Amino acid sequence: MGLRDPLPAEDVTRRLSALPGWEKATDREEIHKTFHLDYYTSVKAINDVMGPAQELEHHPDIDLRWETLHFSLTTYTAGQKITELDFLLVARIEDVMAEYIPATL
């Protein structure tokens, strides 16, 4: 199976269960998560995510608000399906965001 091959729904569900905060949209093939941090820190985080996104040739949808940063992922080159590529970017996003949002005990 290639990076841009659509994943079966049960694989998506299983993988999301191990990723706190990440969910599948109910109305489209997309996974998403909202992070809570201030606006200017979010801008820095977005910039840090863009390098890994570009390396993976992925184009995440990003929604920046006053105190929230929302990432939505689907693989457009696979016909807007959830693929391995989305989960590779999730891992990179989580690595970046760990630098901005300390883990809670």
Are 16 and 31 a contacting pair, CB within 8 Å? Answer: yes
What is the model's pTM? 0.94
Say if 41 falls within a structural domain. yes
Q: What is the CATH number of the domain that holds 25?
A: 3.30.1360.20
Say if 105 falls within a structural domain. no
Residue range 44-92, pLDDT digits in tens: 999 999 999 999 999 999 999 999 999 999 999 999 999 999 999 999 9
Say if 54 falls within a structural domain. yes
The rounded mean pLDDT for the chain is 95
Say if 87 falls within a structural domain. yes
* Greatest Cα-to-Cα distance within the chain, rounded to the nearest angstrom: 40
Say if 18 falls within a structural domain. yes
Say if 2 falls within a structural domain. no
| Over residues 25-41, mean pLDDT | 96
Say if 3 falls within a structural domain. no
Phi/psi region, residue 104 (left: phi>0; alpha: psi -120 to 50; beta: rest), is: beta
Q: 13: domain range? A: 9-100
Look at the chain and report how many structural domains it folds into: 1
Gap between the Cα atoms of 78 and 84, Å rounded? 11
